[in-house]
Structure 1
Amino acid sequence: MTKQLTLLVLLLLLNSCGIFKSYEKYPKREFRGVWIATVVNIDWPKNGNDTADKQKADYLKILDFYEKENYNAVIVQVRAAGDAFYQSDYAPYSRFLTGKEGTPPKWNTDVLDWMINEAHVRGMEFHAWLNPYRATFDENFEVLSETHDYCTHPEWIVHYGKKNYYNPGLPEVRNHFSKIIEELVSSYDVDAIHFDDYFYPYTIQDAVFNDSLAFETYAEQGQTIDDWRRSNIDSLVKQSHETIKSIKPWVQFGISPFGVWKNNSTDPKGSDTKAGQTTYEDLYADPLLWMQKGWIDYLAPQVYWSMELPVASHRKIVDWWSKNNYNTNLYVGNGPYKIRNNSDKAWDDIEEIPNQIELARETPEIQGNIMFSAKSLMKDNDDVVEYMHKKYYKKPALNPVSTLSKNHTTRTPKLLATSKTDSELILEFNDLNEIRFALFYTSGIRVKKTYDIKKLRHKIYVDNHSKTVRIPLEQLRKKYNAITFLDVYGKETTPIIFNLKQVNK
């Protein structure tokens, strides 16, 4: 009896230490993203009239903060309201960047190219976040550039509430947006194109979205206006997918819809929620179809409610999406902007967001989280950040492998030569054309098939136009090290071992 009691106590102690948790304490792969919102200067820049140096410094503060917290992706809003954070033939420069719409920034470099590179050198993916259909943020029309689509193509625009929207029912609007995506993907080294939840606008009581003429012109015989509107969004998603893949097949396409597809009160397939609006019925978006058709590479539903909120429980919604996921990577969009800033007092609990991360970890179908938005964890919530870091983000993690990788094979680059200076190791390879990052691990004399994330010493961005990888000696073990590569699809190559002591100067 005494032996049985001792065994029981030991099992309870082990369980309390997390030994029997269903998730890894240090997962090798996990998406850890953060949205950087630029519309009305939510996160960055602080002000469109700030100097270039201040705007750069403020952007780097965000990157450095999240690099320290072991995040591996930034989702940066580069089109907020018919504008652009880069030089475009199809949209004026954003006033949120330059202070005056259409005025070029006074930077000494290409803004977006610099932003992407600064993310990459910190080991982060850069996802270019576009808002397809919001044309203006308010009714302050005098601030618009004369080249804004509101001025040049008023026939594309629908006024609704206090904003203006592109009419999703017009083929020329979708074609215009395809050109925007084509320009962006062709010109910049982005890892993904990202849409948020704004398709048709959220319903405003007694307001009418006046697209009746487009409906009469383009709807199929017998098609209801609701089904026609959904078909318009489907066409946008399909066309965007095809445009991206025709240019750079490895660039991902991700969408972050509103968290509730349907309530089960209107459809038995819906979630056990009582959301006032739903993504299918009010925003006319059908993410289930997009996944089934293979039009998107990842989905990140915005589940911005607390764990046990009666009308829309985070726990229940995450469970619903995990059971309705088809052949895509699935991430959870979390809302730390609500911490100590919401009528739902659950957000006063330091463990609310950590508990949501744990739920995602415990759910096999989910591969990570995205936080909205950048500033929410950078001020006044140090205790939450520390808690998240110690319990969940203490070690880095690689990004999930893209769903596109199954149709692609990248060969391990061949090591041709090694040398070193007093401060760095120099490795020469035959070809790094499809490589994004090099990973250096602590190793023994024998090569392993794969290395634990705890063995990772450094992740370094690789210029794929070069054949050389340089790494500071301080980042390496004095003797045996292993190097692997992540290709543009996120797949890790076979390890190569080298003995640092045998590398000559």
Structure 2
Amino acid sequence: MFSFQNFAFTASSLKKIRLPLLASSMAAMLLACSTAPEKPLPIVKGNKTDLTIVPQNAPVNFPVMPREAPPLPREFRAAWVSTVANIDWPSRRDLNSDKQKAEAITILDNAVQLKLNAIVLQVRPAADAIYPSGIEPWSEFLTGEQGRPPQPYYDPLQFWVEQAHARGLELHAWFNPYRSRTAQSKSVLASNHISRIAPQAVKTYGDLQWMDPGEPFAMQQTLNVIIDVVHRYDVDGIHIDDYFYPYPIKAANGNEVDFPDDPSWIAYLQSGGRMARADWRRSNVNHLVETVNLRVHQEKPWVKFGVSPFGIGRPDRLPAGISGFSQYDKLYADVELWLANGWLDYLAPQLYWPIGQAPQAFKVLHDYWLEQNVMARHVWPGLYTSRIDNSDKSWTADEILNQVDAMREKGGNGHVHFSMAALNQNRKDIRKRLAAEKYTSQALIPASPWLDKKLPGSPVLELSEDKKSLQVSIPDPANTRLLAIWKRTGQQWLFSVVPAQSMRLDLSDDPQAGAIRQITVSAISRTGQESMRSSYSLP
């Protein structure tokens, strides 16, 4: 298994292909030629060897046999970028478009510097949009007034997608499924907000407005919004958070206030429904999750669907010693069922507790979700990185670093930081230390072969006339998102990832690692599948 603690692989530790095999293969190839070519033919591009055919009777100098490059390093490294209440972006509601773009670029550049490979951007904070939508109004968190577009006009989501992809990052569009107005909302509601066009589907609950999951219009609205984004934007993932039914609030007497869904509940009973109310609520949420998963993949099979629920599962299944809030009974989220049925491509349970907090022990909960993952989907926990702050209860940077280690020790292959603000501000050196201690190499996002097993075509490598660079061509651009590049310099393998495009690779010496002896390139598909490798060896 690839170790992120030591990404500079030694050549001596890797499998070597015996040269006698190459010699016999070359001899057979030469004997098979009925006529001698007038000049050497181009390099034959392939997975294991680079051979040059020479004229008959000419001296044969066998080329250096390429060594096998290491396995690709794989780990999902992402951060949530919250737009609600201007937590991450934009920093204020009165920024013009140029300042919004500049802040987005800073976030993306910091993500690249840290060697993250994905951004989870909140595009629907409260039944609104940070992009032009024919279904819901512009978000007030973007412009200060719900329904007002940014000035000068631009499409923020398109900008984020393009800029993320230009840096080799995935962009996942994050939707709040049912919240329709927050306590931080100040603007007058736009005329096309759901609370105006379908007031029966929206309930007031404390200081919130909430779309009732039991109302068919509310569920259809959320589904329409998500599929509209999948259809119109080149996003890599669709992501919904933990806000299904709202977190309970308490009345003055200390009792929980029940969610006011009597009309939809009564309509269900009158239609012949026989489930208990809690089971009915869970079925409403289950229906949304199952349908989003189905429709997203019908629209674009390669787009990943992920959910980030509260981190504690069903009370009747919890490991010994674990206790706390029950999302199964309070948010009506049956996450274990979703995993069992494969209704998602990745789960990002919010494990927002320290390792040493026994009732919600991080390691125990991580193990629990891995055990529930019977369909072998991705489990990429959410980390509470923003708990690193200036308060008396602040976490140390070591807490997050140790959590990364704990996941890797159990075979975990990814995680998501909440939120980008803590990394952007480098609180207590967390960004610097992650880059130096944990993210020492770039990494590819783990593959999702259940979405598409098709391998992209192998890159074609061609030596330039001056022999100072390699031209890399992509034969299958429609199914290629990234290029994975290994460079061997002496006894080291150096890894990098770049956006898929035809390009030139410099063959000059690396200023730190020395002379380049081999380059191995593979294409990576939209679902993370690796092509056959193409290699070129230098003498």
TM-score interval, normalised by the smaller of the two chains? 0.7 to 0.9
Q: Which amino acid aligns with 1:74?
A: I
The structure-2 alpha-carbon separation of the partners of 1:148 and 1:273, relative to structure 1 and needing over 3 Å to count, comes to same
Correspondence for 2:226: 181
Deviations 1:314-356 (A, max 9, x none): 2222222222222210011110111245665xx4434111111
Q: Is the 8 A contact 2:460 2:475 kept in 1?
A: yes
From 121, 129, 136, the counterpart of 1:91:
136
The structure-2 alpha-carbon separation of the partners of 1:432 and 1:413, relative to structure 1 and needing over 3 Å to count, comes to farther
Q: Is the 8 A contact 1:271 1:320 kept in 2?
A: no
The structure-2 alpha-carbon separation of the partners of 1:241 and 1:21, relative to structure 1 and needing over 3 Å to count, comes to closer
Which protein has the larger Cα radius of gyration, Structure 1 or Structure 2?
2
From 287, 301, 311, the counterpart of 1:249:
301
Q: Is the 8 A contact 1:23 1:362 kept in 2?
A: no
SS in 1 for 2:333: coil
State the distance in 2 between where 1:22 and 1:495 align: 21
Q: Does 1:196 align with 2:241?
A: yes
Residue ranges of structure 1 left out of the alignment (5+ in a row): 1-19, 446-451
Correspondence for 1:227: 279
Q: CA deviation at 1:246?
A: 0.7
From 484, 487, 491, the counterpart of 2:525:
487
State the distance in 2 between where 1:121 and 1:295 align: 30
Identity %: 33
**Equivalences for 1:36-47 in 2 at 5 Å?**
36-47=81-92
Q: Which amino acid aligns with 1:338?
A: R
Q: Is the 8 A contact 1:190 1:251 kept in 2?
A: yes
Q: Is the 8 A contact 2:456 2:524 kept in 1?
A: no
State the distance in 1 between where 2:2 and 2:296 align: 39
From 48, 70, 75, the counterpart of 2:115:
70
Q: Does 1:288 align with 2:336?
A: yes
Q: Which moved more, 1:90-99 or 1:73-82?
A: 90-99
State the distance in 2 between where 1:139 and 1:335 align: 22
**Equivalences for 1:431-470 in 2 at 5 Å?**
431-443=476-488, 455-462=493-500, 468-469=502-503
The structure-2 alpha-carbon separation of the partners of 1:126 and 1:382, relative to structure 1 and needing over 3 Å to count, comes to same
Correspondence for 2:98: 53
Deviations 1:46-67 (A, max 9, x none): 1122121111111111111121
SS in 2 for 1:322: helix
Deviations 1:50-99 (A, max 9, x none): 12111111111111112111111110101100111111111111111122
The structure-2 alpha-carbon separation of the partners of 1:272 and 1:23, relative to structure 1 and needing over 3 Å to count, comes to farther
Q: Which amino acid aligns with 1:35?
A: W
Q: Does 1:321 align with 2:321?
A: no
Q: Is the 8 A contact 2:97 2:154 kept in 1?
A: no
State the distance in 2 between where 1:21 and 1:469 align: 27
Count of residues paired in the alignment: 463
**Equivalences for 1:322-471 in 2 at 5 Å?**
322-327=370-375, 328-341=377-390, 344=393, 347-364=394-411, 366-379=412-425, 381-405=427-451, 407-413=452-458, 415=460, 426-443=471-488, 455-462=493-500, 468-469=502-503
Q: CA deviation at 1:414?
A: 6.0
Correspondence for 1:217: 267
Q: CA deviation at 1:500?
A: 8.2
Correspondence for 2:68: none
Larger RCO: Structure 1 or Structure 2 (Cα < 8 Å, ≥ 6 residues apart)? 2
State the distance in 2 between where 1:21 and 1:117 align: 30
SS in 2 for 1:74: strand
Q: CA deviation at 1:386?
A: 3.0
Deviations 1:273-318 (A, max 9, x none): 231x221111100111111111100001001111111332222222
Q: How large is the RMSD of aligned CA atoms in angstroms?
A: 2.9
Deviations 1:109-138 (A, max 9, x none): 432111112111222111110001000012
SS in 1 for 2:231: helix
SS in 2 for 1:281: helix
The structure-2 alpha-carbon separation of the partners of 1:53 and 1:178, relative to structure 1 and needing over 3 Å to count, comes to same
From 263, 268, 274, the counterpart of 2:323:
274
Q: Which moved more, 1:419-428 or 1:254-263?
A: 419-428
Residue ranges of structure 2 left out of the alignment (5+ in a row): 8-71, 252-256
State the distance in 2 between where 1:420 and 1:156 align: 68
Q: Is the 8 A contact 1:139 1:162 kept in 2?
A: no
Q: Does 1:29 align with 2:88?
A: no
State the distance in 1 between where 2:326 and 2:145 align: 36
Q: CA deviation at 1:140?
A: 5.1
Q: CA deviation at 1:480?
A: 3.5
**Equivalences for 1:251-266 in 2 at 5 Å?**
251-263=303-315
The structure-2 alpha-carbon separation of the partners of 1:413 and 1:316, relative to structure 1 and needing over 3 Å to count, comes to closer
Q: Is the 8 A contact 1:259 1:304 kept in 2?
A: yes
Q: CA deviation at 1:172?
A: 2.1
Deviations 1:218-258 (A, max 9, x none): 25533111000000000000110111011100100000000
Q: CA deviation at 1:422?
A: 12
Q: Is the 8 A contact 1:439 1:456 kept in 2?
A: no
